[in-house]
A and B are shown apart, each in its own frame.
Chain A
């Protein structure tokens, strides 16, 4: 395989031209043999402030979009193309995307946090609208007419009412090109041709036909297969040293790689590598890093500092008073894992003077910085190329396995494919942190008079980047005996409730990485789902204390018309009957008992609005079953309604599973839930039916939809269980132990 050249010399004359006349031979990947070689590194600008960093028009009229935001299986590749097609006035079918390649695409940080449409889409729209404006100006000049007489459509500019005077975009771009700054205020055309339509996703036909190649399906010429051999302290922040390795425990045709506590094996075939990983005998120093406890909260409590206040108004302690009408409640959330069905995988080809890594990372540039440090190379000599892997719901093992593969390739001097096992992924991929939320409140005259929130949380962000170097990949920790760097992120997301209270205080007690017990990082919504579970459960507890209908009680504390609209819409769609919870029932009422619960959240207190109603059945035999979930969703201008519904449904299903089933288990040594039997997720027989009311706001900017609908689900379910049974469950996974 040819090593990609990273110096960007002599690819194109007329560097900087919007027109780049190169040809993507073989499409994005050479599919025939499923053996992949990198695209030629071309001389193209990468700076996010230049139009031609984002867009190219080929001389046969195709529009290449260079996106640092990547398709994680959510459909954004289609949606981003819709946005560009309208802003540039070209047909959707003429667009294509090159995504996540440090040699080709601008640095847009991470594809995360429901920001791809919100930020990435806005950026591409601005670049495309700027390009369209430049093309119109050039056409006006060339045709010697006022630009107001010109119409841009389908990649052409014509004089209105004169069919003979037409110029193709490609004809308008000359040697000088358009090395122009992106005008972030450039206006896209009013008329929307593709935005707002349910354009079918471009990736689905190949996926169902068996033609799509995930990262796991690709091969490098002459590569070996590798597997990691981990310490017994599965998933923990603190890890033991290697005491000894019996190199004779595996066959002669196996390479053993050890650097510090990083151990891996490689062999010519995948099965041989798997057997070698099983057979290799490694002795580790004794270490029991986990507490002898059912939950991490005593350990967290002992380690955390005092609360950092993130929102406050009025004198909350005075408003609470010391009467017996103060309600207090404690809500717990467990460590959870990513539900990626395909364990993480990477390809690496590390040579003397270059390194190329293919990864399903959410951020090719931050990963590059970690790999350069790990491999002791200059960043410019490392190229990271994104390839879609199994669905990703945050910082799973994708970055870690890329570092593993790179280390092994460097050590054995061959291209390597390293596939994590299911146990590697369940055990070692970063966890969504366990959290405890404590609330106190008081109602007076049917309203909330005081609201005090404090939570206890590890950081939800230990991703590569931010100068952390090799510290923020597992291989770096094992080689150097370090742990991830501390940044307090995500634990306070949606900690403030969205309601108007006269007296409130919201604070967070942060747990440092060294005290977090397990490796933690970003999992869908970061802390928003946990904090909203507490907030939206507690507002329901206060509504019950005030003997108010939960919907009316919420509306009494909300002014924002968009917030009120999602709540009123979901109540209407769900057929909500106004009354106090719990339902009054005779003790002899038959089971299963049914109940309904509602919850609302505005993502990060400033983006998408979501209100949900959950309907549950509770019985001693089957526990809690969620039968129906109704969602009202407002994320501004909708780019692709069906794609949006797909995302909302996915959020609902995954959040139902997270609420009812998912919890990491451990012993003194480390994580013990290492397969789907030990860590069950939602199955088909357990799925609820889902109904969705989309509220389109064409005059409002699009905000992200990859996470918001997850956020209110847990509280809606807990509130429904309370409605059905009168019992308040405050620990996730919600388990029914009492008698219904």
Chain B
């Protein structure tokens, strides 16, 4: 076990865990941030996506030792108090959820995209979500939600 300092959602948190523990389990089990979810453990599905240092990053393959001191954003940190981020609101407006297990990853990947490219094309949105899997088949609504959020953010 070892001490690490994590910068998650603009807060500094100390954890005492084995250094090779993937960030995913530290977020979920040590910090109680369970919106970041286990899907495959191999960076193949996107369910565990967080934004780390501005990049959409699958937290299941990042050891905590490599995440220390990096700015990390999880879904819980996206809203401003009770006010949802435009991206979250767009997912509600488009009813872009079926089971929703993948939705955290969709929103975090889209957030990183929109920070980088405020008005992406539909093809660019699909490409940015290429490594996020959705089993329920909510693809069209998810792309619509990201398009709507991009419009709202740049309005």
B38 adjacent to A342 (CB under 8 Å): yes
The A-contacting residues of B in range 86-114, CB under 8 angstroms, are: 88, 91-92, 95, 97-104, 107
For residue B111, give the distance in angstroms from its CB to the closest CB of chain A: 12
Q: Given A646-B138, A654-B137, A675-B44 in contact, is the A209-B101 Cβ separation under 8 Å?
A: no
Bound-complex Cα distance A312 to B127 (A): 50
B133 adjacent to A205 (CB under 8 Å): no
Contacts from A to B (Cβ < 8 Å): 33-34, 72-75, 200-201, 203-205, 207-210, 212-214, 216-217, 269-271, 338-343, 388-393, 419, 421-422, 642-643, 646-647, 649-654, 657, 675-677, 681-685, 687, 689-690
Q: Given A207-B97, A682-B139 in contact, is the A271-B133 Cβ separation under 8 Å?
A: no
For residue A13, give the distance in angstroms from its CB to the closest CB of chain B: 40
Bound-complex Cα distance A374 to B119 (A): 56
A341 adjacent to B133 (CB under 8 Å): yes
Q: Given A270-B25, A391-B101, A684-B127 in contact, is the A422-B79 Cβ separation under 8 Å?
A: no
Complex A-B, nearest 6 residue pairs according to Cβ-Cβ distance, in ascending order:
A73-B99, A653-B137, A391-B99, A339-B135, A210-B35, A650-B137
Chain A residues near B129: list those with CB within 8 A. 684
B100 adjacent to A204 (CB under 8 Å): yes
Bound-complex Cα distance A654 to B138 (A): 9
Q: Given A271-B18, A685-B127 in contact, is the A676-B44 Cβ separation under 8 Å?
A: yes
Bound-complex Cα distance A208 to B35 (A): 9
Classify chain B's interface size: 35 or more
For residue B107, give the distance in angstroms from its CB to the closest CB of chain A: 7
Chain A residues near B99: list those with CB within 8 A. 72-74, 341, 388, 390-392
Closest chain A residue to B88, Cβ basis: A208
Would you call B118 an interface residue if the criterion is a C-beta within 8 Å of the partner chain's C-beta atoms? no
Chain B residues near A389: list those with CB within 8 A. 101
A654 adjacent to B136 (CB under 8 Å): yes
Closest chain B residue to A391, Cβ basis: B99
Q: Given A214-B101, A270-B29, A684-B127 in contact, is the A676-B40 Cβ separation under 8 Å?
A: yes
For residue A114, give the distance in angstroms from its CB to the closest CB of chain B: 15
Q: Which among B44, B136, B137 has the highest number of chain A CB atoms within 10 Å?
A: B137
Chain B residues near A72: list those with CB within 8 A. 99
Bound-complex Cα distance A209 to B79 (A): 7
Bound-complex Cα distance A736 to B82 (A): 51
User: Main SS of chain B's interface residues?
Assistant: loop
Bound-complex Cα distance A338 to B101 (A): 14
Chain B residues near A208: list those with CB within 8 A. 84, 88, 91-92, 97, 100, 103, 107
Q: Contact partner of B29 among A269, A388, A390, A649, CB < 8 A?
A: A269
6 A-B pairs within 8 Å (CB atoms) are namely A74-B99, A200-B92, A201-B95, A204-B92, A217-B37, A687-B126
For residue B127, give the distance in angstroms from its CB to the closest CB of chain A: 6
For residue A30, give the distance in angstroms from its CB to the closest CB of chain B: 14
A390 adjacent to B135 (CB under 8 Å): yes
Closest chain A residue to B126, Cβ basis: A684
B102 adjacent to A341 (CB under 8 Å): yes
Would you call B76 an interface residue if the criterion is a C-beta within 8 Å of the partner chain's C-beta atoms? yes
Chain B residues near A213: list those with CB within 8 A. 34
Bound-complex Cα distance A675 to B103 (A): 20
A203 adjacent to B137 (CB under 8 Å): no
Chain B residues near A690: list those with CB within 8 A. 140
Q: Contact partner of A390 among B33, B44, B101, CB < 8 A?
A: B101
A204 adjacent to B133 (CB under 8 Å): no
Closest chain B residue to A422, Cβ basis: B40
A646 adjacent to B141 (CB under 8 Å): yes
For residue A279, give the distance in angstroms from its CB to the closest CB of chain B: 13
Bound-complex Cα distance A72 to B101 (A): 11
B95 adjacent to A684 (CB under 8 Å): no
Chain A residues near B32: list those with CB within 8 A. 33-34
Q: Contact partner of B95 among A73, A646, A683, CB < 8 A?
A: A646
Chain A residues near B137: list those with CB within 8 A. 649-654, 657, 682
Chain B residues near A203: list those with CB within 8 A. 97, 100
Closest chain A residue to B46, Cβ basis: A341
Q: Given A204-B100, A210-B104, A391-B99 in contact, is the A650-B38 Cβ separation under 8 Å?
A: no
Would you call B45 an interface residue if the criterion is a C-beta within 8 Å of the partner chain's C-beta atoms? yes
B95 adjacent to A642 (CB under 8 Å): yes
Bound-complex Cα distance A210 to B97 (A): 13
A649 adjacent to B126 (CB under 8 Å): no
A341 adjacent to B138 (CB under 8 Å): no
Bound-complex Cα distance A426 to B35 (A): 23
Would you call B57 an interface residue if the criterion is a C-beta within 8 Å of the partner chain's C-beta atoms? no
B95 adjacent to A676 (CB under 8 Å): no
Chain B residues near A419: list those with CB within 8 A. 38
For residue A108, give the distance in angstroms from its CB to the closest CB of chain B: 20
Q: Contact partner of B97 among A34, A204, A341, CB < 8 A?
A: A204
Q: Given A681-B133, A683-B130 in contact, is the A341-B140 Cβ separation under 8 Å?
A: no
Bound-complex Cα distance A73 to B38 (A): 18
Q: Contact partner of A341 among B39, B74, B88, B130, CB < 8 A?
A: B39
Closest chain B residue to A217, Cβ basis: B34
Bound-complex Cα distance A205 to B84 (A): 9
Q: Contact partner of A422 among B28, B34, B42, B88, CB < 8 A?
A: B42
Chain A residues near B150: list those with CB within 8 A. none
A207 adjacent to B103 (CB under 8 Å): yes
The A-contacting residues of B in range 1-53, CB under 8 angstroms, are: 17-18, 21-22, 25, 28-29, 32-35, 37-42, 44-45, 47
Would you call B56 an interface residue if the criterion is a C-beta within 8 Å of the partner chain's C-beta atoms? no
Chain A residues near B101: list those with CB within 8 A. 73, 214, 340-342, 389-391
Q: Contact partner of B130 among A34, A201, A654, A684, CB < 8 A?
A: A684
